[in-house]
């Protein structure tokens, strides 16, 4: 089972309900400090933890809200639409699958790594807290822990050892308490031996070292466990799990490894212990395997960060051998550069951005539209990014509204260069003009203005171009105007290439006329019109002479081949055609014709072009 959606309502930094689509993917999250990404981490962590203990959701409701509501909630939707929720009233997360997933203890923050870093010079690298009260707290096995969680074994032991003895107490004699504590120390010590004593088949170090070798080649660790001893009064010694570190085969035990190794290597050790422990426990949760790494990139240098990404991606590894194939991984970072690096290195992952704003987290993900992303960046005061997504939304709207023939780019088919925003805006004007409809000049001018001062500079990463909030407000208004405008619709009346016969008896003239562009029935603002008609004169005869000149009696043919070809290839509007034909009428001293006269003289299949146009308007 994988997580499909996470819905968080008024939890910690969240001021309203936010549905975050995950889609079953691994997720990499960028968020600046204070943006709410840590609230997202704790929301998912508390969701799983709620399977074994109540979560006080009322105390976690956003403290800035004063509406008195009780609607703080975390809902997770898994495969198949299965939803589980924890809120101030309801908790239905105590299902076997979620309980098992919580046992993995697979939520790690950078704070968890500090146990390896914060060791005094005279101290050993003791990772007892990191393991027993951390990643292995919920570890249990019938053979290793007798089916009891390792953390519970330790807590029960510590609790028993802290009990006093004497008159009126549970234990009257010290020997009674000692016997009881020893009975609880035995299974705990056995578990320590199985997990942290070399030579045992359940020894944890090999799993840790497999990961450590990938994160920091040459570095290996071994564990030395200091088990619990019980004194005569039933009090115990504090157990330890000490790391013995080797680098390229050389022991660092006498060299204070926490100072001999840099921060990146110490972090690599801590991460490897965490991941190795999780891998060891994976069988305990067969259905749900979340793995959340919150800001752990902080302690890693660039080289080790890439190694961690490659380890989790496991490129080139057969599926059967992939360590993390069944895990759904979440990683957060406040390092924008590494967020971009991750995009290049992690294929098939989902990338989400968190930004802080006056109204809680602004969350930007692939499922949001360009306009929604622009709005989120605007609220997050990232004005250049806002302008860039306004440009994308402007391009999308123009491509969506214009017919496909007006959105094609230039170049050979298959190597077409996408049209620029400037070209698309111009084609909006051309579309109206082609249909014989007055273009929306104010809108087109506004688009051209904001294309120049906002849209284009950001698309070329011109970081010196000033982006003003007021300009963005007006740009949003322009985008809204474009979004709501209804372009004229068109329906083909006469196809391009249709051939008509032209007969003008008064000047003894006939011609074959071809329609140069599709002729449309146009509907705009409730009115029907006909788009401009463009024609080609393919051949003509006057007074029996083919390709006759417009003047002269008797008629003579045009002799220049180049001039003749130019006339035949030149498209004529109706007005231009009427003007050219009237040259002959004037030359013959005959009354000139009109556009309607020409339309009535053009025929096909027994119908005139005038009749065809007139019928279409009915």
Q: What ranges do the domains of the chain cover? A: 3-104+287-364, 120-284, 370-487, 491-616
Banded pLDDT at 575 (limits 50, 70, 90): very high
Distance from C-alpha of 617 to C-alpha of 24, rounded to nearest angstrom = 55
Distance from C-alpha of 268 to C-alpha of 170, rounded to nearest angstrom = 46
pLDDT for the residue 279 = 87
Query: Of 51-65, 157-171, 264-278, 503-517, where does mean pLDDT reach its minimum?
Result: 264-278
3-state helix, strand, coil split of the chain in percent (to 5) is: 45, 20, 35
**419-434 confidence digits (pLDDT tens):** 888 999 999 999 999 9
What is the rounded average pLDDT for all residues in the chain? 89
Distance from C-alpha of 203 to C-alpha of 316, rounded to nearest angstrom = 28
Cβ-contact 107, 293 below 8 angstroms: no
Full-model pTM: 0.71
SS3 68: coil
**226-280 confidence digits (pLDDT tens):** 999 999 999 999 999 988 888 888 888 766 666 677 778 888 888 898 898 888 8
Distance from C-alpha of 424 to C-alpha of 585, rounded to nearest angstrom = 43
At residue 602's C-alpha, the angle toward residues 601 and 606, to 5°, is 100
Cβ-contact 501, 512 below 8 angstroms: yes
Residue 248, judged by CB atoms within 10 A of its CB (0-12, 13-18, 19+), counts as exposed
Residue 41's closest CA among 92, 103, 140, 111?
A: 111
Going by the DSSP 8-state scheme, the letter that residue 311 receives in this structure is: H
Distance from C-alpha of 91 to C-alpha of 86, rounded to nearest angstrom = 4
Using the structure block, give the residue that is written with the tokens 């068109």: 490
pLDDT for the residue 459 = 46
SS3 234: coil
pLDDT for the residue 367 = 79
Cβ-contact 311, 211 below 8 angstroms: yes
**348-369 confidence digits (pLDDT tens):** 999 999 998 888 899 998 878 8
* Superfamily (CATH) of domain 3-104+287-364: P-loop containing nucleotide triphosphate hydrolases (3.40.50.300)
**198-230 confidence digits (pLDDT tens):** 989 999 999 999 999 988 899 999 999 999 999
Is the model's pLDDT at 416 over the cut of 70? no
**152-189 confidence digits (pLDDT tens):** 999 999 999 999 999 989 999 999 999 999 999 999 99
Query: Of 61-75, 121-135, 197-211, where does mean pLDDT reach its minimum?
Result: 121-135
Is the model's pLDDT at 462 over the cut of 50? no
Structure tokens at 443: 């809108």
Using the structure block, give the residue that is written with the tokens 């208004």: 477
Let me know how long the chain is. 618
At residue 93's C-alpha, the angle toward residues 108 and 64, to 5°, is 70
**292-342 confidence digits (pLDDT tens):** 999 988 878 888 889 899 988 888 888 878 888 899 999 999 998 999 999
Structure tokens at 542: 């006057």
Is the model's pLDDT at 503 over the cut of 90? yes
Distance from C-alpha of 49 to C-alpha of 194, rounded to nearest angstrom = 27
My answer on whether omega of the bond before 206 falls inside 30° of 0, hence cis, is no
pLDDT for the residue 461 = 46
Cβ-contact 48, 58 below 8 angstroms: no
């Amino acid at each position: 089972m994988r997580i499909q959606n996470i819905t968080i309502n008024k939890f910690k930094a969240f001021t309203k309900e936010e549905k975050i689509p995950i889609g079953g993917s691994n997720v990499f999250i960028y968020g600046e400090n204070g943006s709410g990404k840590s609230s997202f981490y704790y929301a998912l962590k508390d969701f799983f933890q709620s399977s074994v203990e109540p979560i006080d959701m009322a105390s976690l409701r956003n403290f800035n809200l004063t509406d008195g509501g009780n609607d703080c909630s975390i809902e997770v939707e898994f495969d198949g639409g299965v939803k589980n929720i924890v809120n101030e009233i309801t908790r239905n997360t105590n299902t076997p699958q979620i309980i098992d997933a919580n046992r993995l203890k697979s939520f790690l923050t950078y704070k968890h790594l500090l146990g390896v870093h914060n060791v005094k010079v005279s101290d050993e690298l003791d990772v007892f807290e990191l393991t027993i009260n951390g990643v292995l707290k919920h570890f249990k096995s019938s053979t290793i822990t007798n089916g009891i969680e390792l953390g519970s074994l330790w807590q029960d032991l510590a609790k028993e050892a802290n009990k006093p003895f004497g008159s009126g107490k549970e234990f009257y004699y010290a020997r009674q308490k000692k016997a009881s504590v020893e009975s609880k120390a035995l299974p705990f010590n056995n578990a320590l031996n199985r997990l942290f004593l070399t030579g045992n088949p359940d020894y944890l170090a090999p799993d840790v070292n497999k990961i450590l070798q990938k994160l920091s080649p040459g570095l290996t660790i071994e564990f030395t466990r200091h088990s619990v001893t019980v004194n005569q009064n039933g009090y115990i010694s504090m157990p330890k799990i000490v790391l013995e570190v080797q680098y390229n085969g050389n022991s660092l035990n006498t060299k204070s490894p926490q100072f001999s190794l840099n921060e990146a290597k110490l972090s690599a050790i801590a991460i490897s212990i965490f991941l190795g422990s999780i891998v060891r426990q994976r069988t305990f949760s067969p259905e749900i395997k979340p793995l959340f790494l919150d800001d752990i990139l902080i302690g890693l240098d660039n080289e080790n960060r890439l190694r961690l990404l490659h380890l989790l991606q496991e490129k080139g590894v057969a599926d059967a051998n992939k360590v993390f194939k069944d895990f759904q991984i979440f990683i957060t970072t406040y390092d924008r550069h590494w967020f971009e690096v991750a995009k290049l290195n992690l294929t098939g992952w989902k990338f989400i951005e968190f930004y802080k704003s006056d109204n809680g987290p602004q969350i930007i993900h692939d499922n949001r539209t360009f306009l929604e992303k622009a709005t989120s960046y605007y609220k997050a005061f990232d004005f250049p990014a806002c302008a860039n997504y306004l440009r994308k939304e402007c391009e999308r709207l123009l491509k969506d509204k214009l017919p496909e023939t007006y959105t094609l780019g230039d170049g050979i088919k298959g190597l077409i260069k996408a049209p620029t925003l400037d070209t698309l805006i111009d084609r909006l004007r051309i579309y109206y003009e082609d249909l014989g409809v007055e273009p929306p000049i104010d809108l087109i001018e506004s688009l051209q203005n904001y294309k120049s001062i906002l849209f284009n500079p950001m698309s070329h990463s011109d970081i010196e171009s000033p982006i003003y909030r007021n300009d963005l407000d007006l740009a949003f208004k322009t985008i809204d105007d474009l979004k709501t405008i209804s372009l004229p619709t068109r329906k083909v009346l006469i196809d391009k290439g249709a051939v008509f016969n032209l007969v003008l008896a008064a000047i003894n003239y006939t011609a074959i006329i071809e329609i140069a562009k599709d002729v449309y029935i146009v509907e705009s603002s409730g009115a029907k019109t006909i788009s401009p008609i463009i024609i080609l004169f393919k051949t003509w005869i006057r007074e029996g002479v083919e390709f006759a000149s417009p003047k002269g009696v008797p008629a003579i043919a045009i002799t220049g081949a180049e001039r003749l070809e130019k006339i035949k290839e030149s498209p004529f509007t109706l007005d231009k055609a009427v003007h050219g034909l009237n040259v002959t009428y004037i030359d013959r001293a005959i009354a000139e014709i009109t556009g309607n006269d020409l339309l009535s003289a053009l025929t096909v299949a027994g119908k005139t072009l005038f009749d065809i146009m007139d019928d279409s308007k009915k």
